[in-house]
Amino acid sequence: MYTGIQHLHSLLSYLVIGGLAVSIILALFGYFSGKMFTERDRKLALIGIIPTHLQWMAGLVLYFMSPLGFSSLSGEAMGNSMLRLYVLEHPVMMILAVALITFGFSFAKRLSDSKNQFLSIWVFYLIGLVFILSRIPWAVWP
């Protein structure tokens, strides 16, 4: 089961990066074209948020199942850069990224100005994507 969730987590990472990239590009086009933010645009923004939430759920399960996760949380882990990445840096940055992406989507729904709705999605999704890319364990990413 652990290996299956690990593979799911790796597969979902491609969907997250792709979904966020598509959402950011669409929001950027919407922002600069001056078009109205419609229900279709709101649904297209879900391309970024749904895989992100699924990935976070798989990562949370993996964090508590993995020998490199919660069970390794100790003072020794802080001395080893790779273990620190798995135990602390990766989970914290991913939680912040998911929170920012969720906030950007929720904030966009509450705004009344179309330009600001696109801007909210564009900015918060982009910051979330940067956070995600900054803490991916590139050495072992398939």
How high is the pLDDT of residue 142? Answer: 67
Question: For residue 111, what are the CA distances in angstroms to 18, 61, 104, 105, 106?
Answer: 26, 34, 11, 10, 9
Residues of the chain with pLDDT under 50: none
How high is the pLDDT of residue 59? Answer: 93
57 contact partners, CB below 8 Å, separation of at least 6: none
Return d(Cα 81, Cα 6) in angstroms, integer.
21
Note the pLDDT tens digit of each residue in 54-79.
999 999 999 888 877 776 777 677 77
pTM of the full structure = 0.90
How high is the pLDDT of residue 33? Answer: 96
